[in-house]
């Protein structure tokens, strides 16, 4: 006898109170809360007895065999936001932008005791465009991932889903650290600096240094970075910078004669400010950024909640609600 279920895939996060979590708690579905799931598995004997399917999205942790073995090998799925085997790991969305990939996508893969190494059930590519930020690309991949997962589940219901092993040539997207935000004006083009902003600027805006009035080098962050199409003639060397009234931005010369502009700056130990106000604290009209830099240990990374108030949980990727 065929039974029909009213089923959907919903937004999920570690933040309490979102619909998927509340719906699960109010239903008869057996569930465990992340991030205590792994510890709970070790303490409980049969927390998910009778489970039919395990689905995770960019979970980012190796699941213990105590959990994996409760599901059939072909009933453990992971929604990963890259075209595997490219960009395995913790930050595939950010690194697709940071490294300048022309395209990325979503992969539905099996879950193994290795990171993002399972067999591929389905993939769908998507272009990465010059105006894509991490948040914008994440939203597009989330919608795509929801649709692709539903398609795989539908095919599994009628025994038409087929998987195949991942190919060779795996690349990795490591955990994002603040060191990736450091700008080298001599080697980075405007496009590369812009990618830093678009990829990780929501948490780690591009940073450089300047020589202050008291002779000390200070670290500052650039917010709202964009490439400048008509470089300022007065800026000759990489790192040279000045405020431009026409664009209301601070312009900085980059490698290969390219140039970026930014509208907001945040100097360590000071308040965030628009560049028109920020330039009043600089010693010269034309500055040189990044001539000498403090050691990384001298800088304490900060959370930029004013830019990214909705901080992501353990997973930077969410599938959107799509009915089965």
pLDDT digits (tens, 9 = 90+) for 165-181: 999 999 999 999 999 99
- The DSSP H or E segment spanning 135 is helix 134-157
User: Do 225 and 319 fall within a single domain?
Assistant: no
Nearest to 181 by CA among 221, 149, 150, 142: 221
Q: Which of 26-40, 86-100, 132-146 has the lowest mean pLDDT?
A: 26-40
What is the C-alpha R_g of the chain?
23
The total number of residues shown for the chain amounts to: 324
Q: Please indicate, yes or no, if residue 237 is contained in any of the structural domains.
A: yes
Band of pLDDT at residue 47, cut at 50, 70 and 90: low
Share of the chain above pLDDT 70, in %: 73
- The two tokens of residue 180 are 């990736």
Ramachandran angles phi, psi of 126, nearest 5°? -150, 145
Same-domain status, 272 and 191: yes
List 319's β-bridge partners, or say none. none
Which range (174-183, 256-265, 292-301) has the least confidence? 292-301
Residue 85: phi and psi, rounded to 5, are: -85, 10
Q: Quote the number of domains for the chain.
A: 2
C-alpha dist (Å) from residue 30 to 53, 64, 78, 196, 226 = 12, 18, 19, 41, 48
Q: Indicate the average pLDDT of the chain.
A: 80
Claim to verify: residue 257 and residue 122 sit in the same structural domain: no
The answer to whether position 140 is within a domain reads yes
166 and 184, same structural domain?
no
The strand ranges marked E within 254-317 are 259-262, 264-267, 273-274, 286-288
Question: What is the pLDDT, as a whole number, of residue 306?
Answer: 27
- Put the strands of the sheet holding 264-267 in their side by side order: 207-211, 217-223, 264-267, 273-274
Question: Does residue 182 share a domain with residue 154?
Answer: no
Domain that holds residue 230: 178-293
- The 10 Å Cβ neighbour count of residue 211 is 17
Q: For residue 135, what is the domain's CATH number?
A: 3.40.50.170
* Same domain, residue pair 137 and 24: yes
Condensed to tens digits (0 to 9), the pLDDT of residues 196-253 reads 999 999 999 999 999 988 888 999 999 999 999 988 878 989 999 999 999 999 999 9
Cβ-contact 183, 204 below 8 angstroms: no
Q: Are 169 and 197 in a shared domain?
A: no
Question: How far, in Å, CA of 316 to CA of 93, rounded?
Answer: 8
299, pLDDT greater than 80: no
Task: Name, of 36-40, 66-70, 300-304, the range with top average pLDDT.
Answer: 66-70
Which tokens in the block code for residue 115? 């990171």
Task: Quote the CA–CA distance of 77 and 107 in Å, as a whole number.
Answer: 10
The answer to whether 127 and 101 have CB atoms below 8 angstroms apart is no
pLDDT at 317: 44
69 and 163 housed in the same domain: yes
Residue 163 located in a structural domain: yes
In the chain, pLDDT over 90 holds for what percent of residues?
Answer: 57
| Confidence (pLDDT) at 242 | 93
pLDDT for the residue 296: 34
- Reported as a single tens digit per residue, the pLDDT across 111-162 is 988 888 999 999 999 999 999 999 999 999 999 999 999 999 999 999 999 9
Listed residue (225, 175, 177, 171) closest to 198, CA to CA? 225
pLDDT at 295: 38
CA distances from 175 to 22, 38, 119, 121, 305 (A): 30, 20, 23, 25, 19
**Main-chain phi, psi angles of 164, to 5 degrees:** -145, 150
């Amino acid at each position: 006898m065929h039974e029909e279920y009213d089923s959907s895939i919903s937004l999920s996060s570690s933040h309490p109170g979102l619909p998927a979590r509340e719906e699960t708690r109010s239903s008869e579905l057996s569930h465990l809360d992340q991030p205590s799931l792994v510890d709970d598995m070790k303490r409980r004997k049969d927390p998910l007895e009778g489970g039919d399917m395990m689905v995770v999205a960019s979970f980012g942790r190796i699941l213990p065999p105590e959990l994996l073995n409760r599901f059939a090998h072909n009933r453990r799925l992971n929604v990963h936001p890259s075209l595997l085997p490219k960009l395995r790991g913790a930050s595939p969305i950010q690194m697709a932008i940071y490294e300048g990939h022309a395209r990325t996508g979503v992969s539905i893969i099996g879950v193994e005791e290795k990171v993002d190494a399972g067999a591929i059930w389905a993939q769908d590519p998507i272009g990465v465009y010059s105006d894509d930020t991490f948040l914008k690309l994440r939203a597009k991949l989330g919608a795509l991932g929801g649709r692709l997962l539903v398609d795989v589940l539908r095919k599994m219901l009628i025994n038409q889903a087929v998987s195949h092993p991942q190919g060779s040539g795996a690349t990795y997207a490591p955990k994002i650290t603040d060191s990736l935000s450091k700008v080298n004006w001599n080697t980075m083009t405007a496009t590369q600096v812009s990618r830093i902003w678009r990829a990780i600027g929501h948490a780690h805006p591009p940073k450089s240094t300047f020589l202050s009035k008291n002779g000390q080098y200070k670290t500052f962050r650039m917010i709202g970075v964009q490439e400048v199409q008509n470089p300022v003639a007065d800026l000759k060397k990489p790192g040279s910078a000045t405020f431009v009234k026409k664009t209301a931005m601070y312009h900085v010369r980059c490698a290969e004669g390219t140039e970026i502009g930014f509208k907001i700056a945040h100097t360590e130990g000071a308040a965030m400010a628009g560049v028109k106000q920020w330039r009043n604290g600089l010693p010269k009209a034309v500055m040189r950024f990044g001539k000498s830099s403090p050691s990384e240990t001298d800088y304490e990374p900060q959370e930029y909640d004013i830019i990214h108030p909705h901080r992501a949980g353990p997973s930077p990727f969410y599938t959107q609600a799509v009915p089965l």
